[in-house]
């Protein structure tokens, strides 16, 4: 690959070469660039830039690292008339995403004992862990409705309010979902997993708003210093994983498939039969994930209220926003001064709409979209806001988290002989986990510096700082 060319302190160009049809652009500072050059991220970005129908540069966000096909933290837009859709550009955990809920509570009023009780109750009440399902097994009819309706299905069952849907990306549902495009195997896996957290990097986190940078935007988002907030991070569980697996297998046998040099980038024309089927199945899995986070947040509301002896009004846990990470969506963006419909792949990246965009709820129209960027279980998380710069330069996209700096295997080796719970407790972070293995894989050193990632976005202008939260109690699968 050619060497990166510095544009400014926070942007770098991967110049077009070989089969690349467009340049790549990397959002990073020097330290993050040094890390990228030690793994396969830039090579993968060059592969993305070689895919047919790509429009504008292939992008890597400041949390980028090597993934399957596309780098995680990768963004690319394609002309749906002549371009492609790629399961590797979405990932296995379709619509892995995060939501943030505010409360009426002051975090400082909850001491370690009460926080520990809350963490224990959440772990006992919320299904979490590898392969752990929910307490209710859905009928196929119920699951079909979830795959079509997304978070609205949970609301129709009394799990939240219609107001929650106003603060979900795309209203908590992607159009075009077709349960018939989802395999029986995927359906079987999904029937028992609605309302479950999963494992890996998924978590529930009670946190305190530690610092506000933009008082106007924070006020619009309903955030105040000292406030107790809840982060919820989960996705489409086994259903989404199976959809990805099914369509990678089908593409490898389909005559319409496009087979680049990197086999992990296998793709299909967006308007081919297999391309249309994948998009319909992906949307169904994404809707399962929207519904899953709605069920999880409502379950958390009940548990927290029960432990603290508060009703919904006293608790006041309102949804700030819910964003998807791993999806491909048809969106309209300005390209060389003209509005065009594009198929935008965001893999380990989040949407970041700027002020005035028509898809924003009225409350956020002036500020821009909340951009939710969780850190690891021992460090800060950030709320930023989308910008006009993001809409112009990154197809309204920003980073989705800290990004891994260490593989899970390396993290487990590095954690040997350490008491991670005690280390985190010494930093005033209570952790509860269904598995010690998960704690090792998700140790703080396994991730990039979230403060650095947030600064890059802020100074490059693709998302600007609104607030920082610090973890108080974390629940992992």
For 367-378, write each residue's pLDDT tens digit: 999 999 999 888
**Interval 443-452 mean pLDDT:** 91
Residue 436: the pLDDT is 78
**Interval 467-471 mean pLDDT:** 98
Going by pLDDT thresholds of 50, 70 and 90, the confidence category of residue 199 is confident
Per the residue annotation, which of 202, 241, 400, 458 is the catalytic one?
Answer: 400
Going by pLDDT thresholds of 50, 70 and 90, the confidence category of residue 128 is confident
Q: Cα angle vertex 247, ends 278, 190, to 5°?
A: 85
Tell me whether residue 459 is one of the annotated catalytic residues: no
For 257-289, write each residue's pLDDT tens digit: 999 989 999 999 999 999 999 999 999 999 999
In the structure encoding, which two tokens stand for residue 293, read together? Answer: 């986070």
For 92-113, write each residue's pLDDT tens digit: 999 999 999 999 999 999 999 9
CA distance 250 to 207: 43
Whether residue 245 contacts residue 251, with contact meaning beta carbons closer than 8 Å, is answered with: no
Residue 442: the pLDDT is 87
The average confidence (pLDDT) of the chain is: 95
Instruction: Please provide the DSSP assignment of 77-99 as one string.
Output: EE-TTT-EE-GGGT-SSTT-EEE
Q: Which phi and psi angles does 194 have, rounded to 5°?
A: -65, 130
pLDDT(147) > 70: yes
Q: Which phi and psi angles does 238 have, rounded to 5°?
A: -65, -25
**Interval 53-69 mean pLDDT:** 96
Of the chain, the percentage scoring pLDDT greater than 70 comes to 99
| SS3 label, residue 443 | coil
Helices (H), 309-428: 312-315, 388-393, 408-414, 420-426
Residue 324: the pLDDT is 97
Q: Residue written as tokens 């709820």?
A: 361
pLDDT(130) > 80: no
349-351 and 319-324 beta bridge pairing: unpaired
pLDDT(136) > 80: no
For 73-88, write each residue's pLDDT tens digit: 999 999 999 999 999 9
Q: Is the dihedral of CA 197, 439, 241, 342 positive or negative?
A: positive
Residue 477: the pLDDT is 78
Residue 378: the pLDDT is 87
**Interval 30-51 mean pLDDT:** 95
Residue 224: the pLDDT is 98
Helix (H) and strand (E) counts in the chain: 16, 19
Going by pLDDT thresholds of 50, 70 and 90, the confidence category of residue 132 is confident
CA distance 238 to 187: 9
pLDDT(135) > 70: no
**Interval 294-306 mean pLDDT:** 97
Residue 200: the pLDDT is 84
In the structure encoding, which two tokens stand for residue 390, read together? Answer: 């993001």
**What CATH number has the domain spanning 5-476?**
3.90.1860.10
Residue 179 is classified by DSSP as G
pLDDT(50) > 90: yes
| pTM score | 0.96
**Interval 171-177 mean pLDDT:** 98
Name, in order, each residue with C-beta under 8 angstroms of 128's C-beta and a sequence gap of 6 or more: 196, 197, 198, 199, 202, 434, 475, 476, 477
**Interval 197-217 mean pLDDT:** 95
In the structure encoding, which two tokens stand for residue 264, read together? Answer: 């992990």
Of the chain, the percentage scoring pLDDT greater than 90 comes to 85
In the sheet that holds 72-78, the strands lie side by side as: 5-8, 11-14, 24-27, 54-65, 72-78, 338-347, 327-335
Name the least confident of 57-61, 380-384, 415-419. 415-419
Name the least confident of 84-93, 123-132, 213-222. 123-132
């Amino acid at each position: 690959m050619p060497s990166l060319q510095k544009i400014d302190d926070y942007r770098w160009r991967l110049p077009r070469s070989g089969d690349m049809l467009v340049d790549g652009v990397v959002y990073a500072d020097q330290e993050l660039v040094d890390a990228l050059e030690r793994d396969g991220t830039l090579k993968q970005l060059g592969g993305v830039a070689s895919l047919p129908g790509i429009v504008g540069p292939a992008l890597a966000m400041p949390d980028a690292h090597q993934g399957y096909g596309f780098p995680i933290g990768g963004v690319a837009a394609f002309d749906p008339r002549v371009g492609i859709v790629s399961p590797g550009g979405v990932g296995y955990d379709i619509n892995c995403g995060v939501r943030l809920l505010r409360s009426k509570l002051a975090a400082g009023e909850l001491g370690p004992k009460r926080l520990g009780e809350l963490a224990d109750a959440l772990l006992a009440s919320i299904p979490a862990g590898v392969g752990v399902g929910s307490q209710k097994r859905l009928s196929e009819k119920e699951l079909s409705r979830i795959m079509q309706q997304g978070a609205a299905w949970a609301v129709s069952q009394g799990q939240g309010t219609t107001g929650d849907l106003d603060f979900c990306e795309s209203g908590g549902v992607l159009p075009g979902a077709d349960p018939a495009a989802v395999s029986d195997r995927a359906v079987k896996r999904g029937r028992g997993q609605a309302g479950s957290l999963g494992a890996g990097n998924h978590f529930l986190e009670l946190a305190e708003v530690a610092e506000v940078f933009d008082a106007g935007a924070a006020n619009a988002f309903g955030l105040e210093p000292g406030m107790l907030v809840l982060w919820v991070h989960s996705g489409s569980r086994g259903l989404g994983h199976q959809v990805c697996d099914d369509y990678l297998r089908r593409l490898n046998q389909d005559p319409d498939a496009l087979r680049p040099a990197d086999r992990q980038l296998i793709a299909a024309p967006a308007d081919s039969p297999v391309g249309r089927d994948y998009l319909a199945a992906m949307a169904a899995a994404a809707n399962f994930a929207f519904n899953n986070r709605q069920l999880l947040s409502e379950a958390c509301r009940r548990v927290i209220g029960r432990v603290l002896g508060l009703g919904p009004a006293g608790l006041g846990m309102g949804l700030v926003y819910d964003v998807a990470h791993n999806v491909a969506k048809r969106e309209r963006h300005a390209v060389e001064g003209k509005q065009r419909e594009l198929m935008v792949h965001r893999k380990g990246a989040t949407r970041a709409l700027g002020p005035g965009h028509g898809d924003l709820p009225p409350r956020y129209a002036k500020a821009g979209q909340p951009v939710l960027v969780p850190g690891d279980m021992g460090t800060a998380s950030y709320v930023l806001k989308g910008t006009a710069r993001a809409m112009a330069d990154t197809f309204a996209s920003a980073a989705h988290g800290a990004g891994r700096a260490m593989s899970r295997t390396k993290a487990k080796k590095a954690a040997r002989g350490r008491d991670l719970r005690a280390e985190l407790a010494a930093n005033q972070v209570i952790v509860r986990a269904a598995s010690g293995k998960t704690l090792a894989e998700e140790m703080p050193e396994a991730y990039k510096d979230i403060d650095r990632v947030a600064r890059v976005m802020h100074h490059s202008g693709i998302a600007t700082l609104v607030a920082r939260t610090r973890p108080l109690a974390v629940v992992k699968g």
